[in-house]
Amino acid sequence: MSQWLNQVIEQAKQVDDYLTPVRQQALKTLQTEGWPSQRSEAWRFTPLTPVTNREVQTAAADQAGEAPEVAGLNAIDVVFANGQLVTDLDNISWPEGVTVTSLAEAGQHSDDVAAVFGQVKPQRHLFGLVNDAVCQQGIYIDIADGAQVTMPIRIVNLATQDTDAHTRVLVRLGKDARATVIEHGTGDAQSMTTAFAEYDIAASAHLEHYRFAMFTGSACHVGGSHFKLGDHAELNSTLVGYGSQLSRVDVDIHHAGEFADAKMNAIYLLAEGELFDLHSTIEHAVPNGTTEENARGIIGDRARAVFNGRIHIHRDAQKTLAELNNRNLLLSRRALINTKPELEIYADDVKCAHGATVAEIDEGALYYLLTRGVPRSRALIMLNFGFIRELVNLMPNEALREWLLPVLSERFAKMEVR
Amino acid sequence: MLKVKNLHASVEDKAIIKGLNLEVNPGEVHAIMGPNGAGKSTLGYVLSGRDGYEVTDGDMTLNDANLLDMEVEERARAGMFLAFQYPVEIPGVSNMEFMKESVNAMREERGEDPLTAAEFLKKAKAACKQVQLPLDFLKRGVNEGFSGGEKKRNEIMQMILLEPSLCILDESDSGLDIDALQVVADGVNSQRDGKRSFIVVTHYQRLLDYIKPDFVHILADGEIVKSGDASLALEVEKHGYAFLGKKYEEAEA
């Protein structure tokens, strides 16, 4: 058993609010299933030891720093500092059609929040259940049918020393609506945070989504972004992961409506002894859906990456087009990737492809660049950064692209090679 | 300029260069000829510092700086240029990006400011024109999908841009037809200014009709067995490497 989980359960028992029915259910599962063993498939390559015997702590919100600046992004920022909502939602002039509610003060919107809370996120995620049970901070964003929200909404999660924090993001995107949501988490000090987001995307709506899980050092983080797509809905999602003692993101995309289109790109860049784990599950429950998922990572030094990408095509999901690809570059002999793309197909008229590759540095190409006087660090960036940059360039938001490229290439330049 | 004394080098513990001596002074053109397996390409790799090519004995200096203390990129910035026999294809890195990075690394070494994009483009265009490479080759991946001749011309284009003090041409003639050979040779000759030195490594005498050497050395089994002037190359052309002994005669057949 885990001291941390026991303490969280005790904490959860004290919570009593309008979400209690869902919380009780989660609590029950947590109590029966308990802490996963190393044999548990979901945690096979990702040891939970950094959290198992953790003492739950609470750092004050005012200790957290400022939200990272993204020049030219021009977004509405909602900031959670050490798990506490520090943005005054009433002080923001929200675009037309957007209604935002704090989970802690849902008031008249309690029923709307309860209708979404825990409805998109599958119940199998242990830390998702933890979040269900104890999370009291979060926001619910409702975007009315047809609303075209051009200004991105960025939800920032800052974690500092001695933090245990649990936050939730709920988004309902109405029919034909359009919006951009960015989940941006950072932290490098000893902490444990969970952040789960649920997106209910109605028919013909379009969501542009980003999740930057930039936790490093001893900042442990487990979270998830979960999507439900209606008929003709479109999702364009980009995930960027750094590694820490424990950093794990679960993504679920559920094609609930026909002709929905999901594009998901993931980038991870790991250094030193970092760990990053991405699990994605795409459920094609109905016919005519399309999915394209590309996950690419560079792993240096003693870092470890785990990728598990599952595409599940149900028996009725004829005419599904699904592609899943995972490419990895190992910069050192001690770097490790455990990759497992999985296709499970029960329909007979579908077009699916999946693949995973692991490569090392091309010595011949590196030597060629060096003979022309190019510094070694620059040569490595030129040779190896290209396939990461390709995914960055596919991000629709220009300001985010221009912010992210130098951030990633700087991180890459510092990575140790063999 | 370049002084190589009693150089011994091995690859995977196999001795390839076995006591090689060579001195190249400013402005000189040295041709190194020899049969297959003599260590011609190895010499270029050893001089440039390629990983896996281990110097086991001897000295080599470039302008009195000890090459053995220098990394590959430091040797390049000290003025050494190696034109590859088989230039590497690097999809995903554009020729332009590569050369700009390279030219600016050289400029930094000399304490000069980096070129602006416009300044660089002007120089690159001129260099392309000189070796008759279409301008869109700058935008393409390094050597990606280039023909053999285009790759060799790209090497010379790089040489023109980087203005090295010592150029080592590793079989720059191999796989070229006579027109391409002429272009490559013209490119090289345009860079002869009385100060810049060249080591032209070649199997055949043909290239030396276009690039006139001051000295010709015959490399066999890891050492220079004979040196002379340009007439030595003609002798080899006429009689083959037979004078080296039966072993090489057979290798040539």
pLDDT in tens, B70-113: 999 999 999 999 999 999 999 878 899 999 999 999 999 999 99
- Residues B98, A365: C-beta atoms closer than 8 Å: no
Q: What is the DSSP letter of A30?
A: H
Question: Which pair of structure tokens corresponds to residue B112?
Answer: 């000069």
Interface residue of A362, A374, A377 to substitute, partner B, most B CBs within 10 Å: A374
Q: Does a structural domain hold residue A45?
A: no
Determine the pLDDT at residue A45: 95
Whether chain B has a CB inside 8 Å of the CB on A393: the answer is: no
Whether chain B has a CB inside 8 Å of the CB on A363: the answer is: yes
Over 90: is that where the pLDDT of A39 sits? no
- Smallest Cα–Cα separation from A213: which of A264, A247, A173, A252? A247
Determine the pLDDT at residue B246: 57
Q: Does a structural domain hold residue A363?
A: yes
Determine the pLDDT at residue A317: 97
Domain count, chain A: 1
Q: Does a structural domain hold residue A68?
A: yes
Q: Does a structural domain hold residue A34?
A: no
Angle at A190 between CA A185 and CA A191, to 5 degrees: 55
Cβ atoms of A379 and A369 within 8 Å: the answer is: yes
- CB contacts of A409 in chain B (<8 Å) are none
Determine the pLDDT at residue A390: 86
- Residues A383, B50: C-beta atoms closer than 8 Å: no
pLDDT over 70, % of chain A: 99
Q: Does a structural domain hold residue A42?
A: no
pLDDT tens digits, one per residue of B6-60: 999 999 999 999 999 999 999 999 999 998 889 999 999 999 999 999 999 999 9
- CB contacts of A374 in chain B (<8 Å) are 73, 98, 101-102, 105
- Residues B90, A367: C-beta atoms closer than 8 Å: no
Is residue A190 classed as helix, strand or coil in its secondary structure? Answer: coil
> How many Cβ contacts (< 8 angstroms) between chains A and B?
68
Mean pLDDT value across chain A: 94
Q: How far is B41 from chain A (nearest CA, A)?
A: 14
Average pLDDT over residues B123-147: 92
Determine the pLDDT at residue B84: 96
Determine the pLDDT at residue B239: 84
Report the residue from B73, B87, B93 with minimal CB separation from A375: B73
pLDDT tens digits, one per residue of A233-257: 999 999 999 999 999 999 999 999 9
Determine the pLDDT at residue A164: 93
Average pLDDT over residues A322-334: 92
Over 80: is that where the pLDDT of A334 sits? yes
Determine the pLDDT at residue A181: 98
Question: Which pair of structure tokens corresponds to residue A203?
Answer: 């028919």
Q: Does a structural domain hold residue A21?
A: no
pLDDT tens digits, one per residue of A2-14: 999 999 999 999 9
pTM of the model: 0.79
Determine the pLDDT at residue A382: 86
HEC profile for chain B?
CEEEEEEEEEECCEEEEEEEEEEECCCCEEEEECCCCCCHHHHHHHHHCCCCEEEEEEEEEECCEEHHHCCHHHHHHCCEEEECCCCCCEEEEEHHHHHHHHHHHHHHHCCCCCCCHHHHHHHHHHHHHHCCCCHHHHCCEECCCCCHHHHHHHHHHHHHHHCCCEEEEECCCCCCCHHHHHHHHHHHHHCCCCCCEEEEEECCCHHHHCCCCCEEEEEECCEEEEEECHHHHHHHHHHCCHHHCHHHHHHHC
- Residues A374, B51: C-beta atoms closer than 8 Å: no
Helix (H) or strand (E) holding A115: helix A110-116
Q: Does a structural domain hold residue A236?
A: yes
pLDDT tens digits, one per residue of A167-188: 999 999 999 999 999 999 999 9
Average pLDDT over residues A136-155: 97
Q: Does a structural domain hold residue A308?
A: yes
pLDDT tens digits, one per residue of B189-211: 999 999 999 999 998 888 999 99
Q: How far is the C-alpha of A268 from the C-alpha of A32, rounded, in Å?
A: 34
**Model ipTM value:** 0.95
Q: Which residue of A has its CA nearest to B90?
A: A365
- CB contacts of B106 in chain A (<8 Å) are 373
Average pLDDT over residues A112-135: 96
Whether chain B has a CB inside 8 Å of the CB on A387: the answer is: yes
Average pLDDT over residues A270-278: 96
Report the residue from B87, B97, B109 with minimal CB separation from A382: B97
Question: Which pair of structure tokens corresponds to residue A156?
Answer: 């920032």
Over 50: is that where the pLDDT of A84 sits? yes
- CB contacts of B77 in chain A (<8 Å) are 373
Over 60: is that where the pLDDT of A418 sits? no
**Residue holding tokens 């030597």?**
A367
- CB contacts of A363 in chain B (<8 Å) are 51
Average pLDDT over residues B135-146: 91
Grade residue B249 by pLDDT with cuts at 50, 70 and 90.
low
Q: How far is B56 from chain A (nearest CA, A)?
A: 21
- CB contacts of B93 in chain A (<8 Å) are 369, 382-383, 386
Question: Which of A38-42, A170-174, B186-190, B246-250 has maximum average pLDDT?
Answer: A170-174
Determine the pLDDT at residue B253: 37
Distances (CA, A) of B67 to A87, A114, B2, B72, B170: 61, 72, 10, 9, 19
Report the residue from B50, B102, B109 with minimal CB separation from A372: B102
pLDDT tens digits, one per residue of B163-183: 999 999 999 888 888 888 998
- Residues B82, A367: C-beta atoms closer than 8 Å: no
Determine the pLDDT at residue A386: 78
Grade residue A59 by pLDDT with cuts at 50, 70 and 90.
confident
Domain residue limits at A260? 60-413
Dihedrals φ, ψ of A404, to 5°? Answer: -75, -40
The DSSP secondary structure of A41-76, one letter per residue, reads: GGGSSS--HHHHTPPP----GGGS-PPPP-TT---E
Determine the pLDDT at residue A205: 98
Strands B2-11 and B166-170: unpaired
Interface residue of A360, A372, A387 to substitute, partner B, most B CBs within 10 Å: A372
Whether chain B has a CB inside 8 Å of the CB on A365: the answer is: yes
Grade residue B250 by pLDDT with cuts at 50, 70 and 90.
very low
Whether chain A has a CB inside 8 Å of the CB on B10: the answer is: no
Determine the pLDDT at residue A344: 95
Instruction: Please indicate whether residue B164 or residue A410 has the higher confidence score (pLDDT).
Output: B164
Determine the pLDDT at residue A416: 65
Query: What domains can you pick out in chain B, each with its CATH number?
Result: 2-252 (3.40.50.300)
Report the residue from B51, B97, B99 with minimal CB separation from A367: B51
Cβ atoms of A164 and A57 within 8 Å: the answer is: yes
Chain B residues 126-165 with CB within 8 Å of chain A? 142, 158, 162
Average pLDDT over residues A201-220: 97
Q: How far is the C-alpha of B57 from the C-alpha of B60, rounded, in Å?
A: 10
pLDDT tens digits, one per residue of B209-245: 999 999 999 999 999 999 999 999 988 888 888 777 7
Over 80: is that where the pLDDT of A121 sits? yes
